[in-house]
């Protein structure tokens, strides 16, 4: 590190030392606000896009891009010699950005486009959140630049303030689901955020003013001390870029993999981000809690562990906590190592804003690749193994690429030849057994550990293993498609004579492979299961049926002549799969002419006439990620308004993590409905194989007691009453509280 900063400052103003407290408080508060607004924006946007985890990933890209804009602005502003001018300009921009407060979702782009939801989300973020976010995201580099001119003894190395910034980030991110969401309404949250913004503006201006008498570092933006040759400077910038891009991409890729192939519980995308942020706190601390040398020793094990877990998607032999914890721990160690390399290569204070600008650009590149590009070019989560390989290629070694190519080319070439043979065999119709892939990946992961002092051999080993994995397509996988809302797989379970649709880790219907002609509903829709009971008992009396959540279209085969069905589905990939007669035939055989309405149900149901449906099936809750906006008082009022006088609503609320019965009961009671519930458990594993049935949890409700009369004498159905607690509204929901309550009450159903 250069010590030029210590020579460049004027004496402290009026002979008094400038306190570090305002600078620390400013970066801490700004970071807390930045990471409070991220889940807050997701809470605003998720209801409009079905609660999909992809909303979080695309939001991360948006926030990274806004962060880049803020860092670019800070870099340009720091080039102005006089801090007083910088403070004045920043004050004006803070005031202009305040016009977006309190934060809300702009209606400029109308309702979300279900075909191109990412574009809608990006545009809405740009006009709703980006201005104040970009301005306050400039705080970290700007404050550090000002701090470097205060004349304090540690002013030449202001990077430790970045650790305080990330501590604020971590606290802000954790505070939202644990404190703000359960105890405050959304309107209160945006008001508190606006107040925090005002306090931050005062702290920023004050910090700038108390450092305005310091002399500028020379030359700002072009480095200080010993000048670097042009080619070396660009190599250095490229290194910064890659060391920032790969961990950022891994964050999004790991989150996508977890929500697709491990579990998709509410807010499960927060822990990976917290682990990612924590690495910045460690590496930029003056006394890191984990030494960089320790991280270097651990990284090969982390890469190997993550690679090995990738070999067991979906039906993993490991407990959920092991799979989930393994991926998050691997992300933490890899990001800690690469960010440690980034911190070790940070320049002198004169190039501080340039360093943060390039680091932010790397973050955008990594997250955009995984959040926007990967879903368009990969049918599976291929970006995750690709970034694990990229991380290995960035692992620091003592010798260069030329030496590695000379020494390791034979071993790496042999691994490449092995992968090529697997591809040729696959093209010839010879499939590798998945177990062989898992064994090979374990061996190659071991190679990644044993040859950790080299780049080429571990990268070649992992590449060969993942290529082998791509050729080890299990016979049971019939089709796979990926869209904004996740990965949809069609899988044949030949032992059970079933074909199922799996959306991530959740089943969305099944059909007998041997069904000839009109198929019979299976899974949750089996005739003896609660949904089947409702349809068979009420079928003669209903004319119009609305179904929110298409799945494979199982309930279409309960349709009788003269009845009209309308299906409401947000995911175009689900529609493509369900309407393809080569995959499933429920719709083709039983309801070929019935309507399928694409879009979020809160929006599309709102376009239906009042009193339209005799029976309304809400089947959008069986996924582990609950669309909370479909479980609010306002949503319930909408559903009830679309029913006929004797109409009935069926809520399918099977869920691995939450018991949603009381959530439905509270909003139903608030809207004057009466309710019944049934928890159906498949009698035995043999029965499940024989019938294709699955356990399920269902609530039925209506404002008219006559609608529930057919079920009053059925001992399988029980009256459901609300416990009097606060119902969810569009302005208030409490996912964490519901998770905790579910553990105290009757356990959620496996499915």
pLDDT tier at 247, thresholds 50, 70, 90: very high
Same domain flag for 309 and 457: no
Judged against a pLDDT cut of 70, whether residue 96 lies above it is answered with yes
750 located within any domain: no
Which is more confidently placed, 380 or 501? Answer: 501
Same domain flag for 602 and 713: yes
pLDDT tier at 39, thresholds 50, 70, 90: confident
Judged against a pLDDT cut of 80, whether residue 194 lies above it is answered with yes
Q: What pLDDT is attached to residue 228?
A: 54
Same domain flag for 450 and 587: no
Q: Which residues pair with 708 in a beta bridge?
A: none
The number of angstroms, rounded, from the C-alpha of 249 to the middle of its chain's C-alpha atoms is 12
Per-residue pLDDT tens over the stretch 395-419: 887 655 555 556 666 666 777 777 7
Q: Which residues pair with 502 in a beta bridge?
A: 489, 507
Q: Are 748 and 656 in contact (CB under 8 A)?
A: yes
284 located within any domain: yes
Per-residue pLDDT tens over the stretch 648-661: 999 999 887 788 99
Q: What pLDDT is attached to residue 408?
A: 66
| Helix pair angle (117-128, 53-77), 10° resolution | 40
CA–CA distance, 244 with 391 (Å, rounded to integer) = 11
pLDDT tier at 426, thresholds 50, 70, 90: low
Judged against a pLDDT cut of 80, whether residue 214 lies above it is answered with no
Q: Which of 393, 421, 449 is the last residue of a domain?
A: 393
Which residues, at least 6 apart from 467, have a Cβ–Cβ distance to it below 8 Å?
419, 422, 423
Distances (CA, A) of 475 to 138, 312, 433: 52, 16, 9
Q: What is the mean pLDDT of the chain?
A: 84
Average pLDDT over residues 438-452: 70
Average pLDDT over residues 579-598: 94
Q: What pLDDT is attached to residue 264?
A: 53
How many structural domains are present in the chain?
Answer: 3
Same domain flag for 35 and 165: yes
476 located within any domain: no
489 located within any domain: no
Same domain flag for 35 and 62: yes
pLDDT tier at 222, thresholds 50, 70, 90: very low
Average pLDDT over residues 80-109: 91
Q: What pLDDT is attached to residue 284?
A: 87
Q: What pLDDT is attached to residue 4?
A: 34
Which residues, at least 6 apart from 138, have a Cβ–Cβ distance to it below 8 Å?
70, 71, 73, 74, 77, 90
Average pLDDT over residues 407-434: 69
Q: What pLDDT is attached to residue 627?
A: 76
Judged against a pLDDT cut of 70, whether residue 453 lies above it is answered with no
Average pLDDT over residues 247-274: 79
Lowest mean pLDDT, pick from 268-277, 339-348, 358-367, 441-450: 441-450
Match 């933490």 to its residue by tokens.
332
498 located within any domain: no
Per-residue pLDDT tens over the stretch 268-317: 677 898 899 899 989 988 888 899 999 998 998 898 888 888 876 544 56
Q: What pLDDT is attached to residue 620?
A: 82
pLDDT tier at 515, thresholds 50, 70, 90: confident
Average pLDDT over residues 125-148: 91
10 located within any domain: yes
CA–CA distance, 550 with 543 (Å, rounded to integer) = 19
Which residues, at least 6 apart from 328, have a Cβ–Cβ distance to it below 8 Å?
254, 258, 271, 272, 275
Q: Which of 332, 359, 393 is the last residue of a domain?
A: 393
- Dihedral of the CA atoms 90, 96, 101, 106 (nearest 10)? -120
Q: What pLDDT is attached to residue 231?
A: 63
Q: What pLDDT is attached to residue 15?
A: 40
Same domain flag for 354 and 419: no
pLDDT tier at 625, thresholds 50, 70, 90: low
Tokens of 272: 């990976």
Q: What pLDDT is attached to residue 71?
A: 92
Q: What is the DSSP letter of 592?
A: T
> Percent of the chain at pLDDT above 70?
83
713 located within any domain: yes
Lowest mean pLDDT, pick from 132-141, 301-310, 470-479, 528-537: 470-479
Q: What pLDDT is attached to residue 649?
A: 97
Lowest mean pLDDT, pick from 263-267, 272-276, 508-512, 547-551: 263-267
Q: What pLDDT is attached to residue 12?
A: 42
| Helix pair angle (130-137, 139-147), 10° resolution | 20
Nearest CA among 358, 244, 337 for reference residue 283: 337
Would strands 674-680 and 498-503 be described as parallel, antiparallel, or unpaired? unpaired
16 backbone dihedrals φ, ψ, rounded to 5°: -105, 145
Same domain flag for 426 and 448: yes
Judged against a pLDDT cut of 60, whether residue 78 lies above it is answered with yes
Q: What is the CATH number of the domain that holds 118?
A: 1.20.1250.20
CA–CA distance, 686 with 242 (Å, rounded to integer) = 53
Q: What pLDDT is attached to residue 265?
A: 52
Nearest CA among 359, 348, 341, 243 for reference residue 292: 341
Q: Report the length, in residues, of the chain.
A: 751
Angle at 548 between CA 546 and CA 550, to 5 degrees: 105
Q: What pLDDT is attached to residue 747?
A: 53
Same domain flag for 421 and 284: no
Q: What pLDDT is attached to residue 708?
A: 95
| Structural domain boundaries enclosing 710 | 523-744
Q: What pLDDT is attached to residue 11?
A: 39
Same domain flag for 713 and 739: yes
Which residues, at least 6 apart from 462, have a Cβ–Cβ distance to it below 8 Å?
303, 307, 385, 388, 389, 392, 444, 445, 448
Same domain flag for 106 and 189: yes
Which is more confidently placed, 231 or 346? Answer: 346
Q: Are 334 and 300 in contact (CB under 8 A)?
A: no
Same domain flag for 113 and 221: yes
CB-CB neighbours of 611 under 10 Å: 13
Residue 580 preceded by cis peptide, ω within 30: no
CA–CA distance, 274 with 448 (Å, rounded to integer) = 27
Q: What pLDDT is attached to residue 405?
A: 57
Same domain flag for 457 and 362: no
Q: Which of 450, 471, 492 is the last residue of a domain?
A: 471
Distances (CA, A) of 628 to 370, 378, 727, 729, 744: 26, 29, 12, 9, 21
Q: Which residues of 3-16 are buried (b: 16+ CB within 10 A; e: fewer)?
A: ebbeebbeeeeeee
Average pLDDT over residues 369-378: 90
Q: Concatenated DSSP letters for 129-173? A: THHHHHHHHTHHHHHHHHHTTS--TTTT-TTHHHHHHHHHHHHHH
Q: What pLDDT is attached to residue 614?
A: 96
Q: What is the CATH number of the domain that holds 597?
A: 3.40.50.150
Average pLDDT over residues 720-742: 84
Helices marked H in 605-684 — which ranges?
A: 633-641, 661-670
Judged against a pLDDT cut of 80, whether residue 455 lies above it is answered with no
Judged against a pLDDT cut of 70, whether residue 576 lies above it is answered with yes
477 located within any domain: no
């Amino acid at each position: 590190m250069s010590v030029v900063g210590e020579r460049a400052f004027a004496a402290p103003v009026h002979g008094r030392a400038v306190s570090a407290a305002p600078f620390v408080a400013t970066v801490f508060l700004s970071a807390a606000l930045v990471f409070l607004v991220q889940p807050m924006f997701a809470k605003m946007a998720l209801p409009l896009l079905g609660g999909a985890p992809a909303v979080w990933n695309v939001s991360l890209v948006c926030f990274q891009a806004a962060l880049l804009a803020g860092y670019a602005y800070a870099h340009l502003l720091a080039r102005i010699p006089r801090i007083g001018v910088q403070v004045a300009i920043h004050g004006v921009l803070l005031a202009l950005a305040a016009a977006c407060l309190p934060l809300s979702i702009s209606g400029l782009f109308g309702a979300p486009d279900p075909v191109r939801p990412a574009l809608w989300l990006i545009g809405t973020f740009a006009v709703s959140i980006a201005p104040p976010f970009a301005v306050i995201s400039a705080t970290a580099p700007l404050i550090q630049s000002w701090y470097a001119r205060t004349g304090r003894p540690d002013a030449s190395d202001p990077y430790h303030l970045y650790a305080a910034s990330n501590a604020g980030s971590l606290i802000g991110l954790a505070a939202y689901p644990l404190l703000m969401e359960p105890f405050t309404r959304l309107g209160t949250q945006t008001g508190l955020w606006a107040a925090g913004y005002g306090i931050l503006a005062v702290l920023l201006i004050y910090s700038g003013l108390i450092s305005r008498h310091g002399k500028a570092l020379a030359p700002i933006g072009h480095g200080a001390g010993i000048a670097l040759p042009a080619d070396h400077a660009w190599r250095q910038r490229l290194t910064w870029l890659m060391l920032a891009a790969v961990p950022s991409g891994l964050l999004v890729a790991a989150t996508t993999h977890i929500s697709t192939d491990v579990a998709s519980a509410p807010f499960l995308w927060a822990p990976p981000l917290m682990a990612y942020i924590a690495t910045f706190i460690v590496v930029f601390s003056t006394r890191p809690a984990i030494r960089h040398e320790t991280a270097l020793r651990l990284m090969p094990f982390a890469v190997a562990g993550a690679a090995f877990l990738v070999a067991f998607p979906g039906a993993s032999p490991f407990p959920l906590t092991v799979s989930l914890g393994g991926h998050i721990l691997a992300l933490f160690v890899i990001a800690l190592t690469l960010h440690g390399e980034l911190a070790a290569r940070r320049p002198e204070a004169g190039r501080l804003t340039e360093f943060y600008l390039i680091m932010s650009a790397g973050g955008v590149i990594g997250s955009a690749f995984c959040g926007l590009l990967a879903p368009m070019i990969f049918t599976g989560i291929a970006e995750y193994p690709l970034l694990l390989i990229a991380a290995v290629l960035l692992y620091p070694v003592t010798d260069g690429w030329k030496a590695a190519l000379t020494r390791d080319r034979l071993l790496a070439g042999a691994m490449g030849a092995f992968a090529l043979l697997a591809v040729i065999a696959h093209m010839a119709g010879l499939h590798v057994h998945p177990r062989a892939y898992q064994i090979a990946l374990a061996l190659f992961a071991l190679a990644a550990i044993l040859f950790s002092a080299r780049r080429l051999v571990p990268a070649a080993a992992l590449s060969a293993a993942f290529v082998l994995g791509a050729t080890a397509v299990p016979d049971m996988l019939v089709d796979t498609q990926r869209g904004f809302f996740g990965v949809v797989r069609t899988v044949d379970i030949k032992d059970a004579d079933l074909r199922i649709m799996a959306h991530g880790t959740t089943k969305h219907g099944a059909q007998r492979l041997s069904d000839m002609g009109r198929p019979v509903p299976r899974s949750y829709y089996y005739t003896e299961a609660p949904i089947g009971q409702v349809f068979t008992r009420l079928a003669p009396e209903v004319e119009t049926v609305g179904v929110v959540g298409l799945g494979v279209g199982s309930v279409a085969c309960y349709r009788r002549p003269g009845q009209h069905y309308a299906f409401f589905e947000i995911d175009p990939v689900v529609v493509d799969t369900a309407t393809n007669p080569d995959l499933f035939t429920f719709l083709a055989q039983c309801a070929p002419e019935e309507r399928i309405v694409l879009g979020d149900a809160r929006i599309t149901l709102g376009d239906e006439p009042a009193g339209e449906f005799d029976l309304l099936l809400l089947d959008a809750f069986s996924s582990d990620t609950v669309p909370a906006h479909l479980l609010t008082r306002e949503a319930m009022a909408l559903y009830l308004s679309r029913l006929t006088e004797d109409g009935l609503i069926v809520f399918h609320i099977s869920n691995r993590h939450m018991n949603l019965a009381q959530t439905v009961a509270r909003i139903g009671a608030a809207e004057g409905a009466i309710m019944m519930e049934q928890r159906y458990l498949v009698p035995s594993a043999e029965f499940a194989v024989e019938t294709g049935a699955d356990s399920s949890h269902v609530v039925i409700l209506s404002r008219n007691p006559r609608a529930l009369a057919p079920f009053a004498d059925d001992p399988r159905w029980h009256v459901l009453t609300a416990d009097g607690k606060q119902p969810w509204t569009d302005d208030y929901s409490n996912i964490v509280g519901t998770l905790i309550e579910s553990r105290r009450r009757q356990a959620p159903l496996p499915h």
